[in-house]
Amino acid sequence: GNSVTQMEGPVTLSEEAFLTINCTYTATGYPSLFWYVQYPGEGLQLLLKATKADDKGSNKGFEATYRKETTSFHLEKGSVQVSDSAVYFCALSSYTGNQFYFGTGTSLTVIP
């Protein structure tokens, strides 16, 4: 079946620190992979996506590379800001169905 496993939080970092949030997946077929971000009191917003192996998604200084050999899509940012404090969700959609599968979310707090 399809599933997403993501690094458990919460994660607390100082401003300008390096961020990695791990995400691995299990899927049949050829999934598309996504990172969504949820700010307090809001719905999820797409942060970045990758639709095939070796693609790199990037947005707002965040990056993630679709690694088929390790079934991973880790999120990275070189220098986090206080405004990056949010919950981050890894997700996949598969060609085998009309459904998205979300990880449990990782809460990030960045302190000045």
Least gap, CB of 32 to other proteins (angstroms): 5
Are 74 and 18 in contact, with CB atoms under 8 Å apart? no
**42 interacts with other proteins by CB under 8 A:** yes
Q: Which of 40, 69, 70, 99 touches other proteins by CB under 8 A? A: 99
- Please state the separation of Cα 92 from the chain's center in Å: 10
Give the C-alpha separation, 40 to 67, whole Å. Answer: 30
Least gap, CB of 99 to other proteins (angstroms): 6
Closest residue by Cα to residue 95 from 10, 16, 44, 27? 27
The residues binding other proteins (CB under 8 A) are: 4, 32, 34, 36, 41-46, 49, 51, 89, 93-100, 102-105
